[in-house]
Chain A
Amino acid sequence: EPEVTQTPSHQVTQMGQEVILRCVPISNHLYFYWYRQILGQKVEFLVSFYNNEISEKSEIFDDQFSVERPDGSNFTLKIRSTKLEDSAMYFCASTQGFSTDTQYFGPGTRLTVL
């Protein structure tokens, strides 16, 4: 069964460093999302992406964040200058249709900012 994959599974970085989290969505999916989950808290929406542009972003998704689909398969989340409070599990998700279909989540990347 097709699945969303994410790399790396765990990333440790120093405050102020840039990180890039990578995702490979399911191949025939058209809508892509990033969410995050701070330890012990609920999953929060960050950004949605369709047709090579951002569809919607939350207030968490400030100028330090960016997303890109550099080729036909990868979908990346970049944090330009990490802060301690960026430490969280980051999930990528994809769906075939818009707002009516199942969102399939990847296994997540645990980001630890020291």
Chain B
Amino acid sequence: SQQGEEDPQALSIQEGENATMNCSYKTSINNLQWYRQNSGRGLVHLILIRSNEREKHSGRLRVTLDTSKKSSSLLITASRAADTASYFCATAYYNQGGKLIFGQGTELSVKP
């Protein structure tokens, strides 16, 4: 299966703490994208990291990519209650067209 796997499946932290979510994938990729989904709502794009990149930042978000380990991580620093959501990684595999293969997601709960 090419489907990415994320861990942990659920993460509960206090406001102000950092949250780290991990994603693994199976074969070569063009890019990996992280999305946030509030309960029952749409998918909000967070960051895209290409296969030749190792780290990207956007505000309080930091994404890393390790192609040798076929893994990526999303770090949210100084978390807020509003960060409570499900976070998904989605991979665009090399030679698989443009479709995205989503992981199961990490459900993040940030307690005030």
A residues bordering B, Cβ < 8 Å? 31, 33, 35, 42-45, 48, 55-56, 58, 89, 91, 93, 95, 98-108, 110
Q: A100-B92, A102-B33 are in contact. Are A31 and B45 (CB under 8 A)?
A: no
Closest Cβ of chain A: how far from B87's Cβ, in Å?
Answer: 12
Please give the distance in Å from B29's CB to the nearest CB on chain A: 10
Chain A contact residues: over half helix, strand or loop, or mixed? strand
Q: How many A-B residue pairs have CB under 8 A?
A: 68
Q: Are A45 and B101 in contact (CB under 8 A)?
A: yes
Contacts of A31 in B (CB 8 A): 98
16 contacts between A and B (CB under 8 A): A42-B3, A42-B103, A42-B104, A44-B102, A45-B101, A55-B98, A89-B40, A93-B100, A101-B48, A102-B33, A103-B98, A104-B45, A107-B41, A107-B42, A108-B41, A110-B40
Question: What's the Cα separation between A107 and B92 when bound, in Å?
Answer: 21
Tally of contact residues, B, Cβ under 8 A: 26
Interface of B, helix, strand, loop or mixed by DSSP: strand
Smallest beta-carbon distance A102→chain B, Å: 5
Q: Interface on B for A, CB 8 Å cutoff?
A: 3, 30-31, 33, 35, 40-45, 48, 50, 88, 90, 92, 96-105
